[in-house]
Amino acid sequence: MRLYLASRSPRRRELLHQIGIEFDTLISPFEVDETPLAGEAPATYVERVTRAKAAQGLALICERHLIAHPVLSADTTLEVDGEIIGKPDSPSHAESILHRLSGRTHRVITGVAVANRLRCDYVASVSEVRFRPLAQDEIRHYILSGEPMDKAGAYGIQGRAGLFVAHIAGSYSGIMGLPLCETGELLKTFGFSF
C-alpha cells in the first residue's frame, strides 16, 4: 500500500523509509496557519495543526484528481512552562530559545494524523528532553551551523544538538518528528502491514 505524506520534512521522509512505507509527498502551495490560538494548550494546538494538514492533503488529492491513498500528516512542537515553542523566526530568536532550554527539561509533542475520505485518526507522542547547561559559545556555534532554523524548539536531536541532550524519556523518533511506534499502529488501522 502507498500513502501520501503531507509534509516537507526530510526527517519524516527518512523515518517512513526506515519502516518500509511507500509514499508520495504532497506539497501544497499554501502553508497551514500554525499560529497558536489565544490560550490554546500545547497538546490541543498540535492536534489542531496536524488535523488541518491532513485535511489540506485530502483537498489536494481531490483538486489534483490523484489516486485516493491515505494521507499522513504530522506536527511537532515543544512545551516549556506550558508555553508553545515553535520554529525560530531568526537567529536571535533561536538563541533565545536555546538559552531557555539550557539546563532544563522540556516536553516534545508530536501529533500524527492519517486520513482518507471516511475518517481522520490522530495519535500523539509526548517525550521529555533534558538539556545539559549550554555555554554561550556553544549556542552561537550551533546557530551558525544553520541547523536550528527549520526545527521546532531550535534544535534537531538527530544532528549536532544531540550533544546538548543529557536525558530523554519517550520516543526518540517522536522527538525527530515522527513517532514510529505510534505511526505504525495508526497505519495498521488503515490496512498497512509491517
Residues with catalytic annotation? 75
**Contact predicate 61/68, CB 8 Å:** yes
Do 146 and 116 touch, CB atoms closer than 8 A? no
Q: In sequence order, which ranges of the chain are alpha helices (DSSP H)? A: 10-18, 42-64, 91-101, 136-144, 172-176, 180-188
Pairing of strands 105-115, 71-80: antiparallel
- CA nearest to 96, candidates 132, 40, 134: 134
What does DSSP assign to residue 36?
P
